[in-house]
Amino acid sequence: MGNAFQEAVFWALAVVTVGGALLVVTQRDMLRAALALIVSFLGAAGLYAQMNAAFVAAAQVLIYGGAVSVLVIFAVMMTRDVPAANRSSSAQPAALAAVALLFMGLVWAIAQAEWTLLPETLPGP
């Protein structure tokens, strides 16, 4: 009974993983493709968990299912309306002034900081 259940779970995870991957390459909407990529990543993590590779499964969930997916969705959302973003803005001179002021403040703070040097050899235990 246990072996049949494990095989059913394997095939379900395989279908989820491959189905998500197929949706990634067939979707015309980039946001939906990114969401399908998350499904595919999580399906792969489930396959790793089934193979008793808990660390790899956790890394798959945290790194790919979380960080990479958020980065991809963020990039899709930021580049969704690129032609509208190419227009010049009246706030550009104020933004440049703010960046220059911030840069000068950082340079001043770094110059005023007391940078203590460590001794050549650290005292032993």
Rounded-to-integer distance, Cα 4 and Cα 12, Å: 12
pLDDT averaged over 10-residue windows placed end to end, the chain, 125 residues: 86 96 92 91 95 94 89 86 62 88 92 82 72
DSSP characters for 10-40?
A: HHHHHHHHHHHHHHHHH-SSHHHHHHHHHHH
Count of CB atoms situated within 10 Å of the CB of 20? 20
Q: What is the CATH code of the structural domain delimited by 2-81?
A: 1.20.120.1200
Rounded-to-integer distance, Cα 83 and Cα 97, Å: 25
Q: What pLDDT score does 48 carry?
A: 96
